[in-house]
Amino acid sequence: MHDGQMRASGDPYFSHPVTVAMLLAEQRLDDATIITALLHDTVEDTGATQAEIVHRFGDEVAQLVDGVTKLNNLELSSVADAQAENFRKLLMAMSKDLRVLLVKLADRLHNMRTIRFLNAEKQRRKARETMDIFAPLAGRMGMQWMRDELEDIAFRILNPEARASIIRRFLTLRNESGDVIPKITEDIRIVLEAAGVEAEVFGREKKPYSIWRKMQEKKEGFSRLSDIYGFRIITRTLPDCYTALGAVHQRWTAVPGRFKDYISQPKSNGYRSIHTTVSGRDGKRVEIQIRTREMHAVAETGVAAHWSYKDGERFENPFAVDPFLWLRSLTDGLDDAEDSSDFLEHVKLEMFTDQVFCFTPKGDVVKLPRGATPIDFAYAIHTRIGNSTVGAKVDGRRVPLWTKLRNGQSVTIIRADGQRPQPSWEEMVVTGRAKAAIRRALRDEKRATQIRLGREIARVALARIGKKATDKALATAASRLALEDEDDLLARLGAAEMTGRDLVATLYPELLRDADGADADADEQTVIGLGSGQEARPAPCCMPVPGERIVGITERGKGVTIHAIDCAKLAAYEDQPDRWLDLRWTGSGGRAEHETQIEVTMANDAGVLGRICTLIGEQRANITDIAFTDRKPDFYRTLIDIEVRDIEHLTNVLTAIDADQDVAGVRRYRPVQNAAEE
């Protein structure tokens, strides 16, 4: 299918899927994943179809290829919001089958190895995307070797000077003290043999980016870093791990605070190992990792160990993690994120950090990222507990809320019902769950304050024109302004996004017009489009007013009748096009002399009708007739004929009436349409 296609390097394109498949075969993954690697670009880049994949290779492979194709279509390096939303989709795709991501990671690794053939801008974009998304994902999946290589290639592109500087310092160090790795490796072997532990020992220099990150985190120079060398002891049995640890600590001095037992408390991706740092040969600090061969297999391949095959047979590694449980651990607690950008930030936080394990007073274990504080601990238990935190005790002693927790500590949260999250908390926490909950609580509290302030602004603004800020009036204004509800209106007032004058203009524009001294006798509204000598009058069936679209119907001996464009009676003239005239209003303002009808359903209480008539008068509209159409003990319906300037004036009248708390409903009434409806 890839015949004739070439890569940017000039190599035949099929070399890429073959290399991706080889990378996964080296991880001893199952057949379906390796076949998917070979086929992963066929549906997207060739004439192959999904149906053909199903027919030739079966449903399992077809679903995996489809998942990888969808991941390829995600532009993860686009603008922040789109990047965040696409990353959410990436996790959704992973949730169906994690092998999709394994193929995608191998695909990215080969593309990064050959990235030099792309232009400089594309190299930087892909490198940033790799550093932000794919390298942390590889690490979170336990594929540390892949994370190291991805980071190193991206680091070379994004900060070549820093990388070159670290490599030069390594060379200088080697020239000064020789290659210490073989010497320290031999020292460790001798110690293990004396203790009767059969094990393999490997040593290495840390990768340039790993060193650079530590220099940035600790704000220390290269010469002051302690763990630029790393050594691994791979034993045959679990007891040998602890025997080896004892032998190493007897021979060299352990560095305080640098011991972690991930065997008794494994990471969520299945990683198990003992980490310790000792002062080795010539006082150089070295990090040593101790684990069994099976643990090492998981450490190398992470979640991928779940699908591992050995000699053609499925290899059941007891330390391999169930992929579904792993994915749930990655996204657990992130449902509270308000939007996609929050989600992306939180998942990145969870991916970048190692874990510490603390205990509740009842002895339950709480997993937290490194650097977590008692506030993180409280939110990890429940949002309600986090929101009401006022203090904390660690191992029975009262500590500040910004204290960083360590492995094995027991934490007691002190609460108070009236407590609310403080803005400073957001800088103290490191978990996505805590950050989201604090931001949400602060937003809610700020909104509540704005609503209280907005209610007072509304009260004062309406009191100036003799009106009350009732719930009905505020709800009417919110509806008129297309806002969600009256709280949204009040919050905007309190946040100075709108003013009290804006509220008055929405509900009672005519009163504002009076206050501003507006001229009621502006240009007259007239109709244009009439023939010479023709006279026009509004149709009683629809009572059109200026501002509406209109047409004219010529009448024998009666001139022209003006109808609104949506008048139901126009249907009777559809087969008489010669009687139609295209009319329109011209002019502005005008006097209140265009008659129309409104229907008001109001409470049957003393003074209500008088108040409604006053409202209409305040809006500078004239009442010409009132008729009661439906009387009930509690409500009655009234038809009121009024004169208005134009459609905007009519809308203002309807809004002012609708804002009254004793009005159940108000609408424009057109005899023909309303009779048909009833």
Residue 364 annotated as catalytic: no
Closest to 376 (Cα-Cα) out of 352, 397, 347, 356: 356
Question: Phi-psi bin for 636: left (phi > 0), alpha (psi -120 to 50), beta?
Answer: beta
Strands 260-261 and 253-254: unpaired
How many residues are listed for the chain in this entry? 678
The encoded tokens of residue 562 equal 């003006």
AA letter at 377: F
What is the radius of gyration, based on Cα positions, of the chain? Answer: 38
CA distance 572 to 458: 50
45 is catalytic: yes
Side chain identity at residue 99, one-letter code:
R
Catalytic residue among 45, 52, 487, 618: 45
Query: 457-490 burial by CB neighbour count: b if 16+ within 10 A, else e?
Result: bbeebbeeeebebbebbbbbbbbbeebeebbebb
Q: Which two tokens stand for residue 448?
A: 């509540």
Catalytic choice (11, 31, 44, 484):
44
- Asked whether 230 and 258 are in contact (CB, 8 A), the reply is no
Residues 6+ apart with CB under 8 A from 320: 270, 298, 303, 305, 306, 308
- Which spans in 354-470 are helix H? 374-381, 383-387, 425-428, 432-463
End-to-end CA distance of the chain: 68
Among the listed residues 288, 285, 279, 290, the one whose alpha carbon sits nearest the alpha carbon of residue 252:
279
Return the DSSP state at 412.
E
Tell me the catalytic residues.
44-45
